[in-house]
Amino acid sequence: MKPRLKIAHLPTPVETLPRLTAELNGPHLMTKRDDQTGLAFGGNKTRKLEYLLYAAQAAGADTLITAGAVQSNHCRQTVAAAARLGLNCTLIVVGDPPSPPDGNHFLFHLFGAELVFAERDAVQAKLVEIDQSLCAAGKRPYLIPYGGSNPTGALGYMKAMLELAKQDAAPDWIVFPSSSGGTQAGMLVGARLSGFQGKILGISVDEPGERLKARVAELASETARLIGQTDTFTARDVLVNDEYLGGGYAVMGAAEVEAIRLFAECEGLLLDPVYTGRAGAGLIDLVRKGFFKPDETVLFWHTGGGPALFASKYQGQLLGYA
């Protein structure tokens, strides 16, 4: 097993969702609470950062660089981890900064990040530019990819599947939001290692299904090789549903609003407008369509994101006045 820093609160609990199950008259619903990983309001990126930050420290880094949207959960957890370890952190942020800062963007400032705003198609060039400028200034930067999604980061969810195997849960399905691919790739590798017999279904947040399947398969194969496994994965091994893309990335529609309100009112569980809200909407629709068998157990893997609820752009929709 590859070394990691132990910064997450693990294992995260598995809980039943009895009132949501009854409300939807569907299969037995459960949740894996990775919104409780502990670092800066938690979330799935903390598992990835345990491995990525070990690699950064091993490389002698003094500065982390990464990129994400203006309400990025990944950026929030990365800069919080940098603060905890005494590292500098530069974030390349896509989107217009809210004024005053709110949600995750507020937390970027609170944790002491240096923010650089860029257009989406200029992010990669800006990452290279900042990396080079820091090196020229005598710094030792470490670049963390978007979403922490490379083979090193994916190890976090390989280990998460081994963790799930030790808990009192044997779901027929795991449903969760999938975007940059690292979470799903790690799950696939961990599923093979643990002998998991269920199905792993990613609800795409922003990518066409075939593109996301190819990315996840390639990343899963690379992750397996990183730990000395000979397994390979193809797009046929990856389950993705891309029917819930709605108005696009970070655009909250009626389906996401319903999911957020239903999870909150039935279970006291907070989803976010971008990732878990969209995956929750997909789960609700699939249950209503009869996609799952009545006697199956479906585990909703909660990947976090709660601070985005406090972005003013979403509050009016959620409270019904916008």
pLDDT digits (tens, 9 = 90+) for 61-78: 999 999 999 999 999 999
- Asked if residue 167 and residue 18 are part of one domain, the reply reads yes
- Asked if residue 131 and residue 191 are part of one domain, the reply reads no
Average pLDDT, the chain: 96
**Residue 322 binned pLDDT confidence (cut-offs 50, 70, 90):** low
Can you give the pLDDT at residue 303? 98
Mark whether 72 is an active-site residue.
yes
**Residue 55 binned pLDDT confidence (cut-offs 50, 70, 90):** very high
- Asked if residue 134 and residue 178 are part of one domain, the reply reads no
Which one of 148, 168, 197 terminates a domain?
Answer: 148
* Among 93-102, 141-150, 153-162, 230-239, the least confident range: 93-102
Report the 10 Å Cβ neighbour count for 238.
Answer: 26
Whether residue 265 lies inside any domain: the answer is yes
Rounded to an integer, the average pLDDT of 256-285 is: 98
> 1 near 21, Cβ under 8 Å?
no
- 107-149 pLDDT per residue, tens: 999 999 999 999 989 998 999 999 999 999 999 999 999 899 9
- Asked if residue 156 and residue 49 are part of one domain, the reply reads no
Rounded to an integer, the average pLDDT of 293-316 is: 96
Q: Answer yes or no: pTM beyond 0.95.
A: yes
Q: Give the closest residue to 167 by CA, choosing from 322, 275, 13.
A: 13
Which one of 131, 148, 165 terminates a domain?
Answer: 148
Can you give the pLDDT at residue 1? 74
Taking 90 as the threshold, does the pLDDT of residue 304 lie above it? yes
Taking 90 as the threshold, does the pLDDT of residue 168 lie above it? no
> 81 near 142, Cβ under 8 Å?
no
Rounded to an integer, the average pLDDT of 212-219 is: 98
Q: Give the closest residue to 181 by CA, choosing from 211, 224, 159, 226.
A: 211
Whether residue 224 lies inside any domain: the answer is yes
Rounded to an integer, the average pLDDT of 248-270 is: 97
Catalytic residue among 72, 178, 204, 221: 72
Which structural domain range is residue 248 located in? 14-44+150-319
- Asked if residue 162 and residue 286 are part of one domain, the reply reads yes
b/e code 2-27 from CB counts within 10 Å (16+ = b)? eebbebbebebebbebeebbebbebb
Whether residue 7 lies inside any domain: the answer is no
Can you give the pLDDT at residue 2? 86
- Asked if residue 175 and residue 126 are part of one domain, the reply reads no
Taking 70 as the threshold, does the pLDDT of residue 176 lie above it? yes
Can you give the pLDDT at residue 95? 83
**Residue 316 binned pLDDT confidence (cut-offs 50, 70, 90):** confident
Whether residue 2 lies inside any domain: the answer is no
Tally of domains within the chain: 2
Distance CA 8, CA 59 (A): 21
> 145 near 125, Cβ under 8 Å?
no
Can you give the pLDDT at residue 96? 84
- Asked if residue 227 and residue 300 are part of one domain, the reply reads yes
- Asked if residue 227 and residue 173 are part of one domain, the reply reads yes
- 21-48 pLDDT per residue, tens: 999 998 999 999 999 999 999 999 999 9
| Residue 82: CATH number of its domain | 3.40.50.1100
Which one of 148, 179, 210 terminates a domain?
Answer: 148
- Asked if residue 157 and residue 97 are part of one domain, the reply reads no
- Asked if residue 157 and residue 143 are part of one domain, the reply reads no
Give, in order, the Cα–Cα distances in Å from 11 to each of 155, 191, 245, 264.
15, 17, 31, 23
